[in-house]
Amino acid sequence: MSLTARPALWSLAAAAALLASGAWAAGDDRVYDCNPNGNQQQMNDCAAQDYQAADAQLNARYREVMDSLSPPMRDALRTEQRRWLRGRDPACHQAAKAYQGGSIWPLIFSSCQEKATRKRTAELEKWRGRQR
């Protein structure tokens, strides 16, 4: 193999590894190897699972609350929810900024997302049954 082909192969191998290991960030259905007392990847997997569970709970609560609202209140909640969603991930990126590039970054980021999502789920209760 020529010396000029090696960098291209390394780049290809690195890209494949990133795609395989970073799939959790895309929200796919990969199998997690969660162990809260395990290695960093296992702890990252736990944090990603916890966030996904919190997100599923948020979505269920959002649908329940939306079903209880008058049409004008649905519009108001939808607007507020979209504003909240636009702010959550940038806030979590900021919270995890000090860990950027480190193996713990996914754990910090996912934990922030989970905490913010659980807080938002609780906040949705104030909307339940509003008619105006």
Question: Which DSSP symbol is given to 38?
Answer: S
Asked if residue 24 is part of any domain, the answer here is no
Asked if residue 21 is part of any domain, the answer here is no
Which residues span the domain enclosing 91?
41-132
Sequence-ordered alpha helix ranges (H) in the chain: 5-21, 40-67, 71-95, 105-123
Overall domain count for the chain:
1
Write phi, then psi, for 2 (nearest 5 degrees): -75, 155
Each as own residue / partner, the long-range contacts of residues 89-97 (CB below 8 Å, 24 or more positions apart, any chain) are 89/113, 91/116, 92/116
Residue 46: which CATH number? 1.20.1270.180
Q: Per residue in 55-89, pLDDT tens?
A: 999 999 999 999 999 999 999 999 999 999 999 99
Asked if residue 31 is part of any domain, the answer here is no
Furthest-apart CA pair in the chain: how many Å?
72
Q: What pLDDT is recorded for position 131?
A: 76
Q: Taking each helix axis from N to C terminus, what angle separates 105-123 and 71-95, rounded to the nearest 10 degrees?
A: 160
Q: Which residues of the chain have pLDDT under 50?
A: 1, 8-26
Output the pTM of the full model: 0.74
